[in-house]
Chains A and B, each alone.
Chain A
């Protein structure tokens, strides 16, 4: 049975509009115009236990509205949503006891308290049994390497340290679903890798369903088996990363480092970028086999090095949006 079922979710907001200038401000005092914004325009999907899903889209596309509905904060206008057999907004308390949420830009820890005290408070908030709490806490401390941070007030932690502590905090009550909103934003490379590694382990070893919203495409490539793309309140694409690639474009990229700086011309490939000795070519693997293309180019030009890449995911996404505009 799926962990999450979403059918035709719709949510609109009313936004007050302000008029420009002093006169506009004065008039705004008397009368205000409202504009309707459709944040979710009928989205549907199901998520099976243990999936690790990347949920991506530009700001204002409806990402955070979806997460708010799924986590029980927001009541949608219409549509169905069932998570672990419950309607999130109807049984908020029972529902949120089963999920964990981490916001990259905000901490849920108590600013002035040592980390360990925040964990203790969360134990009481989530009514976690003391024995189970001690066990989970110690595991988290070991995996996330928090031992040395426990007695430090949260306000003194670095962003990377805080994120590790926040991850542990979100798991104190052993949720079966975890929502991560930009968990790697602003982190240094080492912390980023540590966070990714932890998410992967959590998903594989404990079978926690993870829904990850992010702007960092490296997160997606490193972690997600399935990617959902949202734009203007609709799901534009849903499936494995390769399918998304294939749907938008089958093209690949061939990057060649030449000995000289001459031009490359080939009937099956086109140059998209030149940078000194380096040439970026795109080609369609359905029209020409990669091996043939490489053979032809190396035959015609003295080549230092060459490699094949998939189209960067950013580019795929931006094309997808362009298509749906």
Chain B
């Protein structure tokens, strides 16, 4: 375990070094990400300018949800680049190289790259989150700060798990994995708004199958001290993000099934 962690750190430091060779590209893409996600937020803000609120949630409260989910997604997105490009690796045969090394394939893919340009989204998410916290005048306490951290951590685990499942599908079809983007990018967009606005089946899907509600809506209720029209137990608001660690573990097991399939069909 410590050995694996050391290797992972070694991978990361080399990945950062590689990316620093393309500094111009890095700066441009980070800035691009910052800009695009920034304008997207302005689009949301302009809707609030016209409608004032969405089922009782005003812009700063939605901005809180927005910031939280975007920060966790930025981390996940940066860490899972290897899984993201995995489809092309299978196609080109480069995945075989990973199987030729005496390490788990998941570890090697995780170490493939730490995509620094995702910092654009991270910074944008942090700005929106800070603005929201400031505007809402949140009474910060140790438990609330802890909750923010595990929400971000749980969110990152959830998204990394989703990206691993998405990559696993590439063992069967390398043609397109677009559908899984609805879980990742679509999940981010879904979680930018409070859960009660959605129809029941949609809500249930993002609570019980992909536990998005656990990393964003439920903890935000506790931090913002709002009542829950959906009536989940209050204790859940404080522990829900940890459920996503289980989600990640399940995703890794599914990944193993995919690797086994690949090794018997050779795709």
Contact = CB atoms under 8 A, between A and B. Distances in A.
Direct A–B touching in the complex (beta carbon < 8 Å)? Answer: yes
Given A14-B265, A65-B266, A110-B18, A96 B10 contact: no
Interface residues of B, number: 25
A101 B93 CA distance: 14
Interface string A78-108: 0000000000010011101101010100101
B97 A106 contact: yes
A24 B25 CA distance: 43
A71 B100 contact: yes
Nearest to B259: A92
A121 B14 contact: yes
Interface string B88-107: 00000110110111111000
Contact of B100 (A73, A89, A111): A73
Contacts, number: 68
B200 interface: no
A113 B265 contact: no
B10 A13 contact: no
Interface in A41-71: 65, 68, 71
Interface string B10-37: 1100100111010000000000000000
B6 interface: yes
A109 to B, nearest CB: 10
A125 B264 contact: no
Nearest to B93: A106
A230 to B, nearest CB: 17
Of A94, A121, A153, chain B has the most CB atoms within 10 Å of the CB of A121
B15 to A, nearest CB: 9
B263 interface: yes
Interface residues of A, number: 33
Given A121-B10, A125-B7, A127-B3, A74 B21 contact: no
A75 B264 contact: yes
Given A89-B263, A110-B14, A125 B102 contact: yes
Contact of B18 (A112, A120, A124): A112
Contact of B101 (A68, A110, A112, A125): A125
B152 to A, nearest CB: 29
Contacts of A124: 6-7, 10
Interface in B78-122: 93-94, 96-97, 99-104, 108
Contacts of A99: 100
Given A113-B14, A124-B10, A68 B266 contact: yes
Interface in B158-201: none
B96 A73 contact: yes
A180 B209 CA distance: 46
A117 interface: yes
Given A121-B10, A121-B14, A96 B102 contact: yes
A13 B265 CA distance: 7
Of A65, A75, A120, A126, chain B has the most CB atoms within 10 Å of the CB of A75
B14 A96 contact: no
B93 to A, nearest CB: 7
A13 B266 contact: yes
A74 B7 contact: no
Contact of A93 (B93, B102, B265): B102
A72 interface: yes
Nearest to A69: B266
A111 B119 CA distance: 23
A11 B100 CA distance: 19
Contacts of A153: 21
A93 B103 contact: yes
B18 A113 contact: yes
Nearest to A11: B266
A121 B11 contact: yes
A97 B102 contact: yes
Given A68-B96, A124-B7, A74 B266 contact: yes
Contacts of A113: 14, 17-18
20 contacts: A13-B266, A68-B96, A68-B266, A71-B100, A72-B99, A73-B99, A89-B263, A92-B99, A96-B99, A96-B101, A96-B102, A106-B97, A110-B14, A112-B19, A113-B17, A113-B18, A121-B14, A125-B103, A126-B101, A126-B102
Q: Can you list the 8 inter-chain pairs with the closest CB atoms, starting with the nearest?
A: A112-B18, A97-B102, A73-B99, A93-B102, A75-B264, A124-B7, A75-B263, A74-B266
Given A125-B103, A126-B101, 9 more contacts: A73-B96, A73-B266, A96-B101, A113-B14, A113-B17, A113-B18, A124-B6, A124-B7, A125-B108
